[in-house]
Amino acid sequence: MDILDEDARALSGALERGDVSAVEVMQATLARINAVNPQVNAIVSLRDGDALLAEAQAADSAPRKGWLHGIPIAIKDLANARGLPTSKGSPLFEGQIAQQDDVMVKRLRDAGALIIGKTNTPEFGLGSHTFNPVHGATCNPYDLGRSAGGSSGGAAAALAARMLTVADGSDMMGSLRNPAGWNNVYGMRPTWGTIPGDADGDVFLHQLSTLGPMARCPQDLAALLDTMTGADAAQPLSTSPDATLPMLTAPLPAQRIGYLGDWEGALPYEAGIAELSDKALQQMSALGHHVINLPAPFDADQLWESWITLRSFAVAGGSHALYADSEKRKLLKPAAIWEIERGLAMSAMQVNHASMVRSDWLRAVNRLFEQVDVLVLPSAQCWPFDVNAVHPTEIAGVAMDTYHRWMQVVIPAGLIGLPVVNIPAGFGENGLPGGLQLIGRHGSDGQLLKLAQHWHTATDWPRTRAMPG
């Protein structure tokens, strides 16, 4: 077996035993990137190969720092990695070199990871389709004519194409879930506050986005999550939960799985999405879990209005200074301008009302979790679409009224910071992969990973249907 087909923890063990060297892993990684990345365009700002091989050689001679020692990683191009560009997919930041690591990146580096470059993302991470004017579009490894999703599309595609064994990502509106589902890998949005993000700017108000891990198996997902996790004094809403990896070996009782379907018609699905979900849930039942079809637990329109209000409020809060400069505004994508203008036009009471709806939804969800252990929804409402498109304009005959309405299925969890694990759910008749969101109550990250591991042991879709070629 090619060493890059190994899961990250297996590769870590081989490095620790001396069965393989960090130099050999780096040579294989660079060769794989050279062979595959020109077609997929998942990894950007790749560092000089000789410099990377020298770092790998140094890692072979140094005491092990942690389980990631000698393992190559590329960082999503929204986060800062010292010495590398942080373009955020925008011409406004093209060539801007990070002077220091973000907290999460430093934790990966301290655990021994060798940072080789960045993974591609949409401009400012807006939209679940990875394309931008700086680095271009990332293609889906299972069909190069289709989108890899986003905003962690570069990370997911790099995993699927075996250019990386683990990757970081971030998720406001499905960005760790949609691309994971579309690339046949695992992605996790942890309980909000588990992984500290960027400490710049406001650290209290904007509780929508979170960082998280991506991998080809749940154990790697848990190991990377545990490395990224932990409170940061500069971010007062961050937490220090228990490690999740040790939980995955404990027995898992039968889970009560509540399937929310299409939210009683509120969520249109492209043909084949519901069928793929139903088939996966039948497999869950065969594994001994109890699947319950649930009615719509909350008004979908209220959730949507709450979401787009709070999202625009957050985007405007972070990017209004760019918009205020008329020259810089010319370089912003239309979606960014739309979000910022909406946010700037809002009153404080509009934001308050949206947060009250969010609070009512949390109370309703807590009642749901008295009936079930896990909630399930598809990871996306459609299959990977044309890589040259901007976004879907309709699904199943229903017009999409915004650039992101087609990802409405991810907001029930994201709106209130619930943990979610995307599990690969198999392939449609079109040969394209899809996923399911396993959604848990606050703090149930370890339990979700245990269920994902149970599923993985039975299916192992990332290995069963590895990327063609």
Only one residue has tokens 């890589």, namely 387
Average pLDDT, the chain: 97
Q: What are the sequence ranges of the domains in the chain?
A: 3-300+352-464
pLDDT at res. 21: 98
pLDDT at position 140 over 60: yes
Question: How much is the pLDDT for 136?
Answer: 98
Looking at the chain, the whole-number percentage of residues with pLDDT higher than 70 is: 99
Tell me the pLDDT band of 198, cut-offs 50, 70 and 90: confident
Query: What integer is the mean pLDDT of 380-395?
Result: 98
Cut 0.85: pTM above it: yes
Which has more confidence, 95 or 1? Answer: 95
The stretch 304-308 carries a mean pLDDT of: 98
Tell me the average pLDDT across 270-290: 98
Q: Are residues 164 and 158 in contact, defined by beta-carbon separation less than 8 angstroms?
A: yes
pLDDT beyond 60 at 469: no
Residue type, 41: N
pLDDT of residue 151: 97
pLDDT band, residue 74 (cuts 50/70/90): very high
- Residue 434 confidence (pLDDT): 98
Please give the full DSSP string across 219-264, using - where no structure is assigned: HHHHHHHHHH---BTTBTT---PPPSGGGGGS--PPPEEEE-TTTT
Radius of gyration of the chain (CA): 21
| Whole-angstrom distance, CA of residue 41 vs CA of residue 173 | 22
User: What is the predicted pLDDT for the residue at 1?
Assistant: 59
Amino acid letter, 219: Q
Mean pLDDT of the 21-48 span: 98
SS3 content of the chain, % helix, strand, coil (to 5): 40, 15, 45
Catalytic residues: 76, 151, 175
Beta strands in 281-373 (DSSP E): 290-293
- 96: pLDDT confidence band, cut at 50, 70 and 90? very high
- Quote the distance between the C-alpha of residue 406 and its chain's center: 17
421 strand-pairing partners:
188, 438
CATH code of 3-300+352-464, in short, is 3.90.1300.10
Instruction: Assess contact for 135 and 123: CB atoms under 8 A.
Output: no
Contact 310/355 with Cβ under 8 angstroms? Answer: yes
Average pLDDT over residues 72-84: 98
- When pLDDT is averaged across residues 88-92 and rounded to a whole number, the result is 97
Q: How confident is the model at residue 468 (pLDDT cuts 50, 70, 90)?
A: low
Mean pLDDT, residues 33-61 taken together: 98
CB atoms within 10 A of CB 396: 14
User: Quick one: pLDDT band at residue 200, thresholds 50, 70, 90?
Assistant: confident
pLDDT for the residue numbered 199: 78
What pLDDT shows up at residue 201? 86
pLDDT in tens, 227-257: 999 999 999 999 999 999 999 999 999 999 9
Query: Residue range 90-96: average pLDDT?
Result: 96
What's the length of the chain? 469
The pLDDT tens digits of the residues spanning 408-451 come to 999 999 999 999 999 999 999 999 999 999 999 999 999 999 99
* Burial annotation 110-140 (CB, 10 A radius, 16+ → b, else e): ebbbbbbbbbbbbbbbbbbbbbbebbebbbb
pLDDT category of residue 467 using cuts at 50, 70 and 90? confident
By CB neighbour count within 10 A (0-12 exposed, 13-18 middle, 19+ buried), where does 10 fall?
middle
